[in-house]
Amino acid sequence: MKALVDKLTSGDVRSAARLIRMIDDNQPAARDALKQLFPHTRRARVIGITGPPGAGKSTLTSCLIESARQQQMSVGVLAVDPSSPMSGGAILGDRIRMNRHTLDKEVYIRSLASRGHFGGITPATRGAIRVLDAMGKDVIIVETVGVGQDEVDIARLADTTVIVWVPGLGDDIQAMKAGILEVADIFVVNKAEHPDAEVTSNYLKSVFRQEKNTTGVPRDWMPPVVETVATKGWGIDALWDVLDQHREYVAGASDYYVVRKQKACRAELENFVHQGLSEKFTTQFADSAMMEEKVVQIASGEADIYAVAESLLAEITVPRQHHVDQLA
Ligand SMILES: Nc1nc2c(ncn2[C@@H]2O[C@H](COP(=O)(O)OP(=O)(O)OP(=O)(O)O)[C@@H](O)[C@H]2O)c(=O)[nH]1
Ligand SMILES: [Mg+2]
């Protein structure tokens, strides 16, 4: 594992691919590697690109790769769940759209087909981001398809979340879930050659004025709305401008952003603990004779299910003081 980590931190693509595969398969060794990688992470700038199927996310990503390369930045791209039924398995399309970058050594593009253990996209994607980060990529773009929970999930992973919208698409407030508004840092109205683009942009701007904020801290960043025509590369400079503005804002660590970040960290931490507990339970008891015996006793009325559950839980959790000593 040490060798893999060493190669990876020196930028080796094959090691990265291997580790991401291990993460995707949820192999325990991958977690070990991620632990070793952690000190090498948190350098990259992570940009999440999300929005409804076919909005132009991949085309836009390709434009962003190009301008990042012009600015001498290395780029990692993760396309998460690109085979969603709604987009009809777009891996191939994405590859074609981003193909012109595949010969560039400073660009690494990877699809992640699977979703995380607990429904959201978080655990495996988070791991893959850390791999690209440790590899030394300056910018990491994460593309996800979605209109709902997916946006919220991606925002937990990204420093900046870009929601890609298109003219005439569900211009009513019902289509925009409150969660999305909270996590959007930048709105892009792509396919802006369409005559309705301006109406859509104005609509999005008005949405934020009516937003109900649930973080408990006043919003101090109003998501700008940028119009683009990704197929022609129009509006990409303007998009970089607001990306840079948002980066500066993030560096300033405002209360609003810090609260959001802490929420994300809490969610990831809870995820890990849930996963760990559930694995511990499975390895210790799921197929054990003791468990079988207890089940029989519960079924026949000899044992109390609550008491059994309590004693099993007590066995997989170590006494509190031990943890306190370990953390100290
Ligand atoms: N007219 C127009 N078409 C565009 C624009 N940007 C992208 N497209 C086209 O829209 C289609 C979908 O583009 P993609 O970049 O694959 O969209 P996506 O959001 O990545 O799609 P999924 O990953 O399948 O959700 C393609 O045919 C693009 O060529 C644009 O600005 N104007
Ligand atoms: Mg795509």
Q: Which is the closest atom of ligand 1 to the Cα of 59? A: 15
Reading the block at residue 247, the tokens are: 């980066």
188 within some domain: yes
Distance 91 CA to ligand 2 centre (A): 7
Q: Using CA positions, which residue lies closest to atom 9 of ligand 1?
A: 56
User: Please, which residues bridge with residue 227 across strands?
Assistant: 189
Q: Are 174 and 242 in a shared domain? A: yes
Checking phi first, is residue 75 left (phi over 0); if not, alpha (psi -120 to 50) or beta?
beta
104 within some domain: yes
Q: Are 179 and 271 in a shared domain? A: no
> What is the spatial distance between Cα 245 and Cα 249, in angstroms, rounded to a whole number?
6
Q: pTM for the whole thing? A: 0.82
75 within some domain: yes
Q: Are 97 and 240 in a shared domain? A: yes
Q: Using CA positions, which residue lies closest to atom 12 of ligand 1?
A: 54
89 within some domain: yes
69 within some domain: yes
Q: Using CA positions, which residue lies closest to atom 32 of ligand 1?
A: 191
> What is the spatial distance between Cα 100 and Cα 61, in angstroms, rounded to a whole number?
12
pLDDT in tens, 69-84: 999 999 999 988 655 4
Distance 57 CA to ligand 1 centre (A): 7
Q: Are 210 and 269 in a shared domain? A: no
Question: Which residue among 221, 254, 287 closes a domain?
Answer: 254
26 close to 114: Cβ distance less than 8 angstroms: no
pLDDT in tens, 181-220: 777 899 999 999 999 999 989 988 887 766 666 666 667 7
Q: Are 193 and 168 in a shared domain? A: yes
Distance 88 CA to ligand 2 centre (A): 10
Question: Which residue among 211, 234, 254 closes a domain?
Answer: 254
Q: Give the chain's mean pLDDT.
A: 82
Q: Are 114 and 244 in a shared domain? A: yes
Instruction: Report the number of distinct structural domains present in the chain.
Output: 2
153 close to 19: Cβ distance less than 8 angstroms: no
Nearest to 106 by CA among 67, 70, 63, 75: 75
Question: Which residue among 254, 275, 305 closes a domain?
Answer: 254
Largest CA distance in the chain: 73
For residue 110, what is the enclosing H or E element?
strand 107-112
Radius of gyration of the chain, Cα coordinates, nearest whole angstrom: 22
pLDDT at residue number 211: 63
Reading the block at residue 278, the tokens are: 């559930």
Say if residue 309's pLDDT is above 60.
yes
pLDDT at residue number 119: 41
Residues contacting ligand 1 via CB (< 6 Å): 53-59, 82, 87, 90, 93, 97, 145, 190-191, 193, 229-231
pLDDT at residue number 213: 62
pLDDT at residue number 239: 98
Reading the block at residue 62, the tokens are: 């390709």
187 within some domain: yes
Full domain range(s) for residue 92: 39-254
Query: Coil, strand or helix: which one is 328?
Result: coil
Q: Select from 231, 232, 236, 239 the residue to mutate for testing ligand 1; criterion: most ligand atoms less than 8 Å from CB.
A: 231
Q: Given pLDDT bands bounded at 50, 70 and 90, which one contains residue 260?
A: confident
> What is the spatial distance between Cα 314 and Cα 319, in angstroms, rounded to a whole number?
8
Q: Are 191 and 322 in a shared domain? A: no
> What is the spatial distance between Cα 78 and Cα 141, in angstroms, rounded to a whole number?
6
Say if residue 27's pLDDT is above 50.
yes
255 close to 217: Cβ distance less than 8 angstroms: yes
9 within some domain: no
Q: Are 86 and 161 in a shared domain? A: yes
Query: Coil, strand or helix: which one is 51?
Result: strand
Tell me how crowded residue 217 is: count the other CB atoms within 10 A of its CB: 13
pLDDT at residue number 90: 43
pLDDT at residue number 298: 95
Q: Are 70 and 218 in a shared domain? A: yes
pLDDT in tens, 52-109: 888 999 999 999 999 999 999 999 999 886 554 444 344 545 555 666 676 788 899 8
Q: Are 203 and 306 in a shared domain? A: no
Q: Are 201 and 240 in a shared domain? A: yes
Angle between helix 2-9 and helix 13-24 axes, rounded to 10 deg: 120
189 within some domain: yes
CATH of the domain at 133: 3.40.50.300
Q: Are 226 and 187 in a shared domain? A: yes
Q: Using CA positions, which residue lies closest to atom 28 of ligand 1?
A: 56
Reading the block at residue 52, the tokens are: 């409804």
- Rounded to an integer, the average pLDDT of 129-149 is 87
Query: Coil, strand or helix: which one is 106?
Result: coil
Nearest to 125 by CA among 48, 58, 200: 48
